[in-house]
Amino acid sequence: MYRYGTRLTHRLIALVLAGLIGISTPVQACTNFLLIAADGTPVYGRTLEYALQTQSEVVVMPRNTLFVGMRANNAPGPKWNARYALVGVMSFGQPFVSDGMNEKGLAGGALYFPDFAAYTPAGEADPKTALAPWEFLTWVLTNFATVAEVKAALDKVTIVDLPTPVVNFTLPFHFPIHDASGASIVIEPIDGKLKVYDNPLGVLTNSPPFDWHLNNIRNYVKISPVNANPLKIGGQTFAPLGQGSGLLGVPGDPTPPSRFIRALGYVASARQAPDGPQTVRLAEHILNNFDIPIGFISTGEKDGPLEYTQWTSIADLRARKCYIKGYQDQVLREVDLNTFDLDAKSLFVAPFRSNPTPPKLEFGKP
């Protein structure tokens, strides 16, 4: 049984979130998208940015894992057994994931959604079906196989405004969900209800809400991967300087609206790869453009925390393979869900590698 609520858990989350409260502004950057290979294989990519170490680990959660949610004052919340195994990333030693894919190819993430996430008040929800924000994604991935199943089940559950243990702080999330057919949705807690959007674009970042991002696309409809034609004025011809002139105006800053447009531009214009493995590499190339080094984003406070890309994940939703790399080791590491005992009685956990020295290039013998 994996339960939230031990004294050690409380102390750990208290220390972590005490830091988060003081730096609520910078912990907002995540980028998520879905690519479709020519053979129909969906490949999901995502970055996670935070301003302090999340102590992230890669985890495989077998079928029948028992989850017991936690309510206020350490009271037990809803219980469920995992119908499906999953691979994902958990933080602070807690058995819930902020990103993952299950054995059926359903994948998703918890992306920061500050200023707009509005959950159901805890006192107004049925405690048997009320999930804390940090529990919701794990509940989705351990119970459902497709986006359609998730949509059909959302009226049977609520996400409640529940501060994480000890510290009075509720984590604001919204959730992109994708499946092995290529279907995508976005789930957002708005005014105490779960609002669901179909997402044919497959892209999501952070605040504002998803429908705002869709409207914002209208500001960039002139942008094209095709170079601009030379311009003639007063008998003079002015040709573009270099390549990429059709993309002038694509926002390059790390704010969520700008990252949404930039990610959409890459997803819409990148040449389609033929299959899953090559689409994984394409996703990696795109995600490299959203990598934030330490120091690029700052609150301006002396010795203040600095947000950066802590890890990048990619998942082939048909092959059931996940690929992970961390800040200190920029080499993708494969986790093949098919190679695990998915009926095991305990979690499989692996830390992110720390390898600041690049591996040596091997030469053949002359």
> What are the domain boundaries of the chain?
2-207+274-351
User: Checking DSSP bridges between strand 120-121 and strand 158-161, what pairing results, if any?
Assistant: parallel
Residue 20, pLDDT > 70, answer no
**Alpha helix segments (H runs only) across the chain:** 7-22, 133-143, 147-153, 210-216, 256-269, 276-288
Residue 79, pLDDT > 90, answer yes
Cα distances (angstroms) measured from residue 352 to each of 89, 105, 118, 147, 327: 10, 23, 33, 29, 9
Instruction: Please choose, from the candidates 311, 290, 294, the residue with its C-alpha nearest in 3D space to the C-alpha of residue 303.
Output: 294
pLDDT digits 0-9 by tens, 163-172? 876 456 899 9
Q: What pLDDT, on a 0 to 100 scale, did the predictor assign at position 64?
A: 98
When mean pLDDT is compared across 152-161, 183-192, 295-304, the lowest value belongs to 295-304
Model confidence band, residue 356 (pLDDT cutoffs 50, 70, 90): confident
Query: Is residue 314 within 8 Å of 283, Cβ to Cβ?
Result: yes
Q: Which residues of 245-268 are buried (b: 16+ CB within 10 A; e: fewer)?
A: ebbeeebeebebbebbbbbbbbbe
Catalytic residues: 30
Tokens of 70: 């936690």
Residue 268, pLDDT > 50, answer yes
Fold of 2-207+274-351: Penicillin V Acylase; Chain A (3.60.60)
Q: What pLDDT, on a 0 to 100 scale, did the predictor assign at position 366?
A: 87
Rounded Cα distance, 283 and 90, in Å? 22
Q: What pLDDT, on a 0 to 100 scale, did the predictor assign at position 33?
A: 99
User: Checking DSSP bridges between strand 76-81 and strand 66-70, what pairing results, if any?
Assistant: antiparallel
Start-to-end CA distance of the chain, whole Å, equals 58
The percent of residues above 90 in pLDDT, for the chain, comes to 77
The arrangement of strands across the sheet holding 120-121 comes to 120-121, 158-161, 130-131
pLDDT digits 0-9 by tens, 121-141? 988 988 889 999 999 999 999
Task: Check residue 266 and report its DSSP letter.
Answer: H
The percent of residues above 70 in pLDDT, for the chain, comes to 91
Residue 13, pLDDT > 60, answer no
- Average pLDDT over the chain, rounded to an integer: 90
Collect all residues with Cβ–Cβ distance below 8 Å to 296 and sequence separation of at least 6. 254, 308
Residue 11, pLDDT > 50, answer no
Residue 35, H or E segment: strand 30-36
Model confidence band, residue 303 (pLDDT cutoffs 50, 70, 90): confident
C-beta neighbour count of 90 within 10 angstroms: 22
Q: What pLDDT, on a 0 to 100 scale, did the predictor assign at position 165?
A: 67
Rounded Cα distance, 286 and 218, in Å? 22
C-beta neighbour count of 291 within 10 angstroms: 16
